Each structure stands twice: as structure tokens, then as C-alpha cells.
Chain A
Amino acid sequence: MLWLALFFPQLLIDSAGTPADLPQLVAGRRQQRRLVVQCNRAARALGIHPSQALNAALGLCPDITVHEEDTALQQTHLHDQALHALQYSSLVSTRGDQLVLLEIAGSLKLFGGEQALLQRIISDFRQRGLALQSGVGPTPLAAELLARAGVTQAVRSCDELPARISPISTAFLPFDAAVCASLHKAGLRECGQLLALPVDAITRRFGQQTGQQLYRLLGKLPDPQVQIQAQAQFRRSLDLALETDNSHILQFTLNRLLTALSGFLRVRDCGVTELELTLQHRHIAPTCLRPRFSQPVCRRRHLLRICMEHLSRTRLPGPVLQITLSASQLLPMRYQTTPLLHDDKQSHGQDSLADLRDRLCARLGEEALYQLAVHDAHWPEQAWQRKPASEPAGTTAAGFPLRPLWLLSTPQTARCALRTGQTERIEGDWYQNGGQRRDYALARDPVNGRWYWVFREDGNSAWQIHGLFA
């Protein structure tokens, strides 16, 4: 296994959304002292560095932007980054509040080698406006150590690990802060000095934990990671810049939400079949729309088109203040495997059919589109079924006697005398139709010449028109 550690030295500053070229720092409390915990490049240029006293930093730059340390917030930001990293590896975990770990050995082939993958990941995170240091190592702790120390050269096997980490300062060891401090006090400045000591001496002096951690670092003990799972819900709101019912502005806002949703879905390799769109109004109950899709969808264009179709059908009671988009059920995407002798046209047709079905259902309602199926029953009303439009199944051809093309939903009494031919008796099931009997016949309207399918119930002389031979 090969681990990539992404260390975010100034996550709180980068996630705050303030201009990056402004000197900024994060202040925290360490043993009753206010210290600089994180600072950005602009602050470092002024001589500020982490673990400096806050007052000293303020002395160097009085108008520096100070963020308060907030571990919970930082964890949330870190979790976001870990979720984003899920698109590069299925095994992602977080460590502490500044580090994301990815197992990359399984992703190398897909992304075209180690160099390409690393470049892609790092530039992706840089584009998200995050300063980061990365390290690649054979164990999670080794990767973490390399990332914290800023060693960019990858270490690929445990054999070369001791030699490669020897020159690194022990301050970067991913151990407890107290242990690091006592290592420093004991005069162990470099990892090489620590590795030269017998492990039982380290255990005796710095505790059993430290010995085990060292073994994990060197790959002599397993170090299982708690894999993070993508949450199975999406919910996001956007406030509109101004209250409006203008469909262009609504579409613009909706598009932003759907772009986020689409990215969210793509990372999880999932799609949605149902969305909930809530439009908040001032003083009026919110408008709620529920677009549905026949198949899991993750494409933004498809999502937007169906949502806009729903929106255009809806009369808004007032201007919209805020749009909330939520998807509660994520379903795995179904991809079509392409046959070796690929028929391009066919698969394109299938794709657009699902799209078309969604569009039609969005405007006309779910009930308006259906398919017919033959049902094994003698009673004419029960000999057919509606079913939702779906993929084509096998053909159903059966040897029926002559049947009309149109069946009236309620039979009508014939107003004039009909010339009828041979009759066909159809009996209903005793448990459903009370054992009713009908004598069906083909009949011709003497006035306009149309052909009917008529029946006469037992003991009733009046003919009922049940179908038309259109």
C-alpha cells in the first residue's frame, strides 16, 4: 500500500474566505498563553511564525487579521476536503485536524501513474485555494511525517524508510505533543537518533504508546485507518440576491445549486431519482417541488432541464427569497456496458429515451405516460393493464379472437336495433365478478355503419356497446 498524506497547515485561514494576500493568523490558547497556531505566507513574510506569542505577532503587525482557533470548525473543513479527496481513492481518512490520508496504490493505474495522480490531486486542492504539503510513504504515519516535514520525494518501501527519515527533525513526528517535547528535551533532534535507540529503551522512557507508534511508522505493526464514508444526503440553500420571481434569476441560482449537487453525486458515483426543491417566500408558506427521474441521474443539464420544467408549470405565490435543494436518497449510477461491436446509435437512443420520459412526466404528470400490457384474464376489462413506460420486454402476441381497438371505459346502451352476428360467451370469475356472463358479438350501426363490440348480459335483452373497431 502507498499512502498520500495531505497536510493543510493553514486550513482555518484558507477556508475563511478572506483575501489570501492579507496577513492572517489563527490564535489559540496553549497552557494559559495565547499563541500563534497557524499563519499564512503574508504573515510569515512579516516574521510571524507558529508557536510565537500572539502579542509578539501583534507587535510585528498590529493590523493583522486574527482568527480564533475553532477545532470543531476545522474538523468540518477537513471533512469537506476528505470528501473531495474521495474521487481519487476509495480509502480516505482524516488524522487530527489538519491531515487527510489517501491510499493511492489502488488509484495509480486509473489516473495514469504516480506523478500524474499527485499532480492532479495537488493542483486540484491548490485550485480550491488551500495551502498544502504532501508526502508519500509506505505507512500512514510515514506519509504524515513526510508531509509535515515538507519532504516531497516519495518513499515507496519500508526498507528505505529508516534511511530517508533519519535527517527529519523529531518535531515533525506525528506523536503526542508531550512526547515530542520530551524527545526534544532528551536531545533527540533528528529521527535518526531516535531510530538508533533500542525500542525497549524508548518504550521504557517515553511510554508504550510511543514504541508502538514507532513500529507503526516503520511498518512493523499494522495501522488500520477509519475510512470516511460519504454522507448519503445532500442539502444546500442559496439566498437570492434580490427577491424575485424572474425565471432567469431563479434558473441561474438553481443552476449553481445543481452544479454543486452534480459534483456531489459524481464524487460518490451516485445519482438521484427524486429531488426536493423548496422556494421560500416572505410571509407565505414555501413552495415545494418534487422533480422525479426514471433512472438515477447525475448530469447537471438533465437535472436543470427537469427542474425548470417543474418550475415553469408552477405558479409562484410570491417572490422567492431562498432556494433549498435537497436529495435524500442517493442511488448508484447504472452505467451501460458497451458491447464489443458497439452500435452507437442504439445506446444514444436509450439514453435520450430516459431523458424524454422524464421531460414528458415532468410536464404532463406521472399518470399521463404509460404502456399497455396484456393480462391473462377472460373478462375484457381485466385483460389489459397499464404499466409505467420502461425498457422493452419480450413481445406478447397471443391468439385472441377479434377484439376492438378501443374499449369504452363504461359500456353504453345501444340506442337502436343492431344487426349482430355470432356471439362469444365470456364468463367472469366467480370470486371477482360474481359469476357474471356476457354474450359478446360484433355489431354494425345501421345508421352510420360503424362496427361495435357489443354484449348482452344474462337475462337482459338490451345490447351494450363496449368497444369500437376504430
Chain B
Amino acid sequence: MNPALEALLQSRRDLWQGDRHPGGQKTRASGFAELDAILPGGGWPAGSLTELLPEQPGIGELSLCLPLLAGITGKGSYAALVASPHTPYAPALAAAGVDLSRLWILDPGTPDDTLWASEQLLRAGAFGAVLFWAAQTRDAQQRRLQLAAESSDAIAICYRPGQAAASHSAAALRLHLQLRSDALHLHTIKARSTTATRHARLSIQRLFAARRGH
């Protein structure tokens, strides 16, 4: 390839690169080999927005991120949960190996405040992962969050209801989550380096194992 072109592809993350994984993008292993296998770069993308779309709440979407939270807080970085639908239960998080003193919980009253707070957290630089629940996001807001995540190389995970899968989104990675016969099925709706839908299956036992810490 032309070296100038190569340099451009290396330096610019926002250039579409077909089914090649962009070279500069950092990822963080999710803790589940099955999930890593379908994620471009083999893990949660750092510095970009990821959408998780569970078909219904409470099917294991938070367990999916437990190894991530444990890894981030264990390494001296901070993590935050914004506008979680129920109170995260401290004993379960502690048992999964999450350092609670490095986990911030935010309960903003309105959807707008949720997005504002998430953006502030992402821009702060001290946060390695920000997980937030936002049913409705406008395009411009998503782009702001995407830029905020890029500015600090943080992992931004947005939980939206499964119905939002049909709508357009600026997120770099979108995963649809379904619970079918004792296993969590994951589909990539959108991933940066691929056009094909990839599919992974995680058994409930694997998810429960994450809760006890590895």
C-alpha cells in the first residue's frame, strides 16, 4: 500500500477501513472468550461508544461487563454507573472483584442530565469505563459522547432497550442481547471493521461464574 495512505489510515480512526481492524484502536478483553471472538480487535473498544441492547432488562447485560469493571477498578482507574434502573447491589459487585471505592454511582434525574453526566465522566480522564442507561438519545448527543470517549480513551457503554436496535446510531459497536434457553445470545448489529453480523452464545453458567470473580 502507498505509505502515505498507510500513515493516514494509522492516524485517523474515523476513516472507514473495510473489514480491517483499525490499527490504532485499543481494546480491552471482555473476560469472555466467546464474546471477544466476535468483537473487532478482540474486546471492548477503548475510546469509543458501545451500545448494548438487551431485549428486556435484567437478562445478564450487567454481568457481561463485570469482568471489565473488576479489571478497570483493580488497575487503579475509576468506573461509573450512571442512571442504572435499580440500585446496584454492593455485595454482588464486591464478590465479582469490583473495587467499590473506585466505582461511582450516579442517579441523575432526567435523561438529559444522564448524558451530560456521562460526558463529564468520560472527559475527566480518570474513568476507564462509564456505563450508562439511556433509552432515548439523539444523534448529536451520541456524537458528543463518542468524542468524549475518544478524548480520554475510556470505554463508554450505553444500555438501550432492544427496540432501539432498528434505529440508526453513531455508536461504533452495537450488540443485541437475547436470552434463549439458558444462554445469552449476542449479535453484532454494527461493528466498525465488519459488515457481517456475528453471533456468540454465552451460557448462563459462564455469566454466573463472572459474578464470583475468576
Contacts and interface: CB of A to CB of B under 8 A. Distances in A.
Interface in B126-156: 126
Given A359-B120, A405-B92, A451-B204, A372 B61 contact: no
A407 B59 contact: no
B100 A371 contact: yes
A2 to B, nearest CB: 47
A371 B58 contact: no
Given A352-B126, A392-B101, A470-B63, A403 B107 contact: no
B99 A470 contact: no
Contact of A396 (B61, B92, B100, B179): B100
Contacts of B31: none
A181 to B, nearest CB: 70
Interface stretch (A44-52, A226-234, A382-390): A382-390
Interface in B46-82: 56-63, 66, 74, 78
Interface stretch (B6-14, B108-116, B163-171): B108-116
A86 to B, nearest CB: 36
B201 interface: no
B121 interface: yes
Interface string A345-378: 0001110110010011001110111111111000
A449 B104 contact: no
Contact of A405 (B63, B106, B109, B125): B63
Nearest to B180: A449
A403 B107 CA distance: 22
Given A359-B120, A407-B87, A448-B179, A393 B60 contact: no
A394 interface: yes
Given A405-B89, A407-B87, A368 B107 contact: yes
B113 A407 contact: no
Interface stretch (B20-28, B34-42, B188-196, B206-214): B206-214
A311 B62 CA distance: 36
B56 A409 contact: no
B186 interface: no
A242 interface: no
A368 B108 contact: yes
A323 B62 CA distance: 48
Given A372-B103, A383-B91, A395-B99, A470 B60 contact: yes
A469 B94 contact: no
Contacts of B33: none
B5 interface: no
B213 A397 contact: yes
A450 interface: yes
B87 A406 contact: yes
B92 A450 contact: no
Contact of B101 (A375, A394, A470): A394
B53 to A, nearest CB: 14
B101 A468 contact: no
B89 A407 contact: yes
Given A352-B126, A364-B109, A384 B120 contact: no
A407 B179 contact: no
B117 interface: yes
A363 B113 contact: yes
Interface string A129-146: 000000000000000000
Interface in A396-415: 396-400, 402-409
Contacts of B107: 364, 367-369
B56 A448 contact: yes
A23 interface: no
A397 B94 contact: yes
Nearest to B208: A402
A404 B92 contact: yes
A394 B94 CA distance: 12
A9 interface: no
A400 B124 contact: no
Given A371-B100, A371-B101, A371-B104, A450 B109 contact: no
A467 interface: yes
B200 to A, nearest CB: 17
A393 B102 CA distance: 8
Given A448-B179, A470-B57, A398 B212 contact: no
A393 B101 contact: yes
A427 B108 CA distance: 35
Interface in A334-352: 348-350, 352
A350 B77 CA distance: 11
Contact of B90 (A364, A373, A394, A470): A373
Contacts of A364: 106-109, 113, 117
A365, A373, A398, A449: residue with the most chain B Cβ atoms closer than 10 Å: A449
Interface of B: 56-63, 66, 74, 78, 84-95, 97, 99-109, 113, 116-117, 120-121, 124-126, 179-182, 204, 207-208, 211-213
9 contacts: A360-B106, A360-B120, A364-B106, A369-B106, A371-B105, A405-B88, A407-B89, A470-B61, A470-B62
Given A372-B90, A398-B91, 12 more contacts: A352-B124, A364-B107, A364-B117, A372-B100, A374-B91, A383-B91, A384-B91, A400-B91, A402-B208, A449-B181, A468-B57, A470-B63
